[in-house]
Structure formats: structure tokens, C-alpha cells
């Protein structure tokens, strides 16, 4: 989930396509008006208008972030997804604007919630529960979560999807694409179509709570014998395509470990990074949303609680093999093999200029350094994030670099980047060389 502790900022979700289109049109009109006004001011001052700077003003940033937050659904989720890129797709100013959306999701009002649950469960649905908390304890881009207690005393977490979200995915993404094509935001020849197509598919999957329930069962079965993790269990009797009912797992935010002893912080980060490698190389599927709220901890046992399996992507054996080849080449410091593997995966294309290809290769080589060192990598003390950020910005601000990596690669990087930030927040020390060594020879299962 994207947000805990929702406060009292409830706001009705625009449910119809027409209402959502009008709202998006209002955002675009507001931004365009700001651009015109700013351009006129610059011309009055004798300056040539800077279109790029006029679009990405603080006022336009607020208008875009607040407008998408109000819409929720695909509009908000796509903004969150794009904000997790590493500077290789969007300019840094736009990434910063969209980053505001990661922690900004408003719950729907109780009356709207009542209508949604009556549509899913029928009138009189409250008789199924001893207690149902109308105020959600978490709200996200696609739905919000409520605590409920059954007559037998079992406590559940009920995730309820916002109305109109599923039906508006394609139009919301298309409208966001129109905003991104405002002059000055992106390089003129940059083709975002493949990424947007993949985003639509991903969002349709995330809005299908029946599919999410299946993902939760599958990961629960995979990790059932692992004492490092605990997952909620699906409560089938209350699940629908727009309602996901699960057991409520008492836990604390993962940030609670920030004050824990070093060995506990190291163990938590090691387990989560190892899980990413298992997803990539062993399990054949990955939960690609690294939001902090999706990771919690049981204070009594130290087990990590994994939540939110809407953003699961399948990883086929060929993709796993390509990344294993890239990992082996990177560990060996073999530039030629690294370039071949990166071309195969799609980090750059055959037409990518040598200078751009060299920058991408150098960035990858820099990122591989912690995996080659014999001692544990200290996430708290390293300046590696700053160096990688600087290199990513150099790529993102190059208006001549028009290649966009495949969506699967960007989703994978989103997860890896999120794990890096989490490990840094925990000030963890992780033996990365040992971790990757366990997975280099494994083969991903067929599914």
C-alpha cells in the first residue's frame, strides 16, 4: 500500500470516465495557463521564453500532483510508477514532481464506501461482521484498506477498490500521456508508447483483486516454510473482483527497525535482497512495488510481513537467463560480455550512439562494485547512490538519448532501487557477494 495513517482528508473519487476526463482536462488547462502567463512575463522582461522551465514550475508541480492524487486510480498509480525511474526516462524535474504522489492518497468518504460495498456484497453486508471500521487504516492509488472483525473474532484486512478505477485505466493512461507530451517535458522523438502499453497491462492486473488473491496464495505457498517471512491468508468468502479480504497480521512498520541493533537491521535487509534474487532467478515472478508500506515486521518474532501482491510480474526463463548472463559478466568485469547482455535485455539499442552506450556501461559497472568486494557492503556509509544518481541525471537530461528500456527492465529496476533505499534507511551491512553467489547457478522454474 502507498500510505498508512490516512488522516481525515477523504475526498470522493471521480467515478465516471466523463468526470475523470473533465478533471484531467482541468489539470492540463491549468498547466497550459501557467505556461502562457509565465511566457508573457518573460517576454515582457525582454527574455526568450524557456518552455521547459515554464512547464516544470513549482506551481505546475503542485497542480499536477494534487490533481492526480484526487483522481487516484491509474492516473495516480502511473505517476507513482514513473516517479520511481532512475533518471533514464524522465527529466529530473518531472521525476521530482511525480515523487510527491508516492505518499499522497486520499480515502473515499464513508457514503461512497457504502455504495461500493453494497454493490459487491449486497445490502445488509454489515451483518457479516461483528465490527467494520469505516475509516481505513491505509489508502493507496487503487484502493483503501479497512479493519474488520468476523463474528467468530477473526480479524481481517479488507481492501476495497475505488469506484471507476478499473474502467478508466486505458483512458487515464492516455490522458497522462497527453500531459507528458506537453512541449518541453520530454525529448521530441522519445517514444513512450511501449512503456505506456505495459503500464496499462500492469494496472489492469493490479485492479483485478481476484488475480491479486491468486498471487498472494502463490507467494504464500512458496514462502510457507521460510521462517523469515509471513504473509496474510486470503479469506475467500468475502473476496470479489473489487474487494480483497485477508487475515490481518499484527505488525509494525519496517521503519521500526531503524533503531534496532545492527545485526537485526543487517538480517532484515539481507533477507529482502535475497528475496529479490529468488524472485528473479528461482520463483519466476516478482512483486515489483517496493513501497515501504508493503514491508512490515513482527516485533515478537522479527519475521518480515509482506503485503500487496497486485504488482506481480511474471519473469520468463529467457529473461532470467539474460539477467544471469549480465550478472556474471558484471561480476567478472567483462565489458564486451556486459555490452552483449545489456543489448539483449534492451538497456540500449543497436542504434544507440557509442557515447550513450559507454555512459550506460559505466553506470552499470559502478553499480556492480559492491557485488565484487569481499566484505559486506555498508549501505549507510557509501556514496554510491550519489554517484549513480549523478550518472542517471546525465542520461536523463541528455535530450538526444531517445531509447527507453523495456518495461520489464524498468519494473525490475524499480524494485531493486527500492530495496537499495530501504537497506540504506536501515543503515544495513550486507554481504552482497555471498548473496549473488547463491543464485548464479540456479535456473528459474517453468510456469
Q: Give me the active site residues, please.
A: 289
3-state secondary structure of 437: helix
**All three cell numbers of 242:** 473489487
Q: How far apart are CA 372 and CA 386, in angstroms?
A: 19
Can you tell me whether residue 297 is helix, strand or coil? strand
- Residues 6 or more apart in contact with residue 215 via CB below 8 angstroms: 285, 287, 309, 310, 312
Is the distance from CB of 289 to CB of 302 less than 8 angstroms? no
Contact 280, 325 (CB under 8 A): no
Q: Whole-angstrom Cα distance, residue 102 to residue 276? A: 21
Q: What is the CA radius of gyration of the chain?
A: 23
- Tell me which residue of 314, 132, 128 sits closest to 211, measured CA to CA: 314
**Phi and psi at residue 285, to the nearest 5°:** -160, 150
Distance, CA of 142 to CA of 74 (rounded, Å): 7
Sign of CA dihedral 212, 407, 167, 164: positive
Reduced 3-state DSSP string for 324-359: HHHHHHHHHCCHHHHHHHHHHHCCCCCCCCHHHHHH
Residue 83, classed as helix, strand or coil, is helix
Specify the 3-state DSSP secondary structure of 308. coil
Dmax over CA atoms of the chain, in Å, equals 74
Amino acid at each position: 500500500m502507498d500510505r498508512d495513517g490516512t488522516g481525515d482528508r477523504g475526498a470522493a473519487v471521480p467515478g465516471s470516465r466523463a468526470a475523470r476526463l473533465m478533471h484531467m482536462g482541468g489539470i492540463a488547462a491549468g498547466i497550459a495557463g501557467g505556461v502562457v502567463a509565465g511566457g508573457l512575463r518573460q517576454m515582457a522582461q525582454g527574455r526568450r521564453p524557456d518552455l521547459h522551465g515554464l512547464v516544470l514550475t513549482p506551481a505546475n508541480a503542485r497542480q499536477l500532483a494534487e490533481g492526480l492524487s484526487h483522481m487516484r486510480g491509474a492516473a495516480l498509480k502511473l505517476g507513482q510508477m514513473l516517479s520511481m525511474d532512475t533518471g533514464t526516462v524522465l527529466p529530473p524535474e518531472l521525476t521530482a514532481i511525480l515523487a510527491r504522489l508516492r505518499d499522497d492518497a486520499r480515502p473515499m468518504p464513508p457514503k461512497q464506501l457504502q455504495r461500493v460495498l453494497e454493490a459487491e456484497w449486497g445490502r445488509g453486508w454489515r451483518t457479516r461482521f461483528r465490527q467494520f471500521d469505516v475509516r481505513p487504516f491505509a489508502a493507496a492509488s487503487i484502493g483503501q484498506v479497512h479493519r474488520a472483525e468476523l463474528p467468530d473474532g477473526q480479524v481481517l484486512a479488507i481492501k476495497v477498490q475505488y469506484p471507476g478505477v478499473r474502467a478508466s485505466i486505458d483512458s487515464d493512461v492516455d490522458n497522462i500521456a497527453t500531459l507528458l507530451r506537453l512541449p518541453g517535458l520530454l525529448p521530441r522523438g522519445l517514444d513512450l508508447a511501449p512503456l505506456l502499453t505495459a503500464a496499462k497491462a500492469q494496472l489492469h492486473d493490479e485492479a483485478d483483486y481476484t488475480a491479486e488473491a491468486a498471487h498472494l496464495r502463490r507467494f504464500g505457498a512458496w514462502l510457507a516454510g521460510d521462517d523469515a517471512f509471513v504473509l496474510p491468508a486470503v479469506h475467500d468468502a468475502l473476496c470479489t473482483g473489487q474487494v480483497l479480504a485477508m487475515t490481518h497480521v499484527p505488525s509494525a512498520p519496517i521503519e521500526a527497525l531503524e533503531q534496532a541493533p545492527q545485526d537485526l537491521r543487517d538480517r532484515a535487509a539481507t533477507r529482502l535482497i535475497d528475496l529479490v534474487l529468488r524472485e528473479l532467478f528461482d520463483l519466476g515472478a516478482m512483486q515489483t512495488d517496493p513501497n515501504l508500506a508493503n514491508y512490515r515486521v513482527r516485533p515478537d518474532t522479527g519475521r518480515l510481513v509482506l503485503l500487496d501482491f497486485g504488482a506481480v510480474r511474471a519473469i520468463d526463463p529467457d529473461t532470467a537467463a539474460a539477467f544471469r548472463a549480465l550478472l556474471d559478466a558484471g561480476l567478472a568485469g567483462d565489458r564486451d560480455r556486459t555490452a552483449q547482455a545489456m543489448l539483449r535485455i534492451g538497456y540500449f539499442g543497436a542504434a544507440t550512439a557509442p557515447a550513450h552506450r559507454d555512459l550506460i556501461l559505466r553506470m552499470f559497472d559502478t553499480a556492480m562494485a559492491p557485488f565484487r568486494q569481499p566484505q559486506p557492503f555498508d549501505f549507510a556509509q557509501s556514496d554510491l547512490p550519489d554517484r549513480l544518481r549523478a550518472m542517471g541525471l546525465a542520461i536523463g537530461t541528455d535530450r538526444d538519448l531517445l531509447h527507453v528500456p523495456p518495461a520489464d527492465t524498468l519494473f525490475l529496476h524499480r524494485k531493486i532501487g527500492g530495496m537499495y533505499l530501504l537497506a540504506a534507511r536501515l543503515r544495513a551491512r550486507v554481504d552482497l557477494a555471498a548473496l549473488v553467489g547463491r543464485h548464479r547457478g540456479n535456473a528459474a522454474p517453468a510456469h
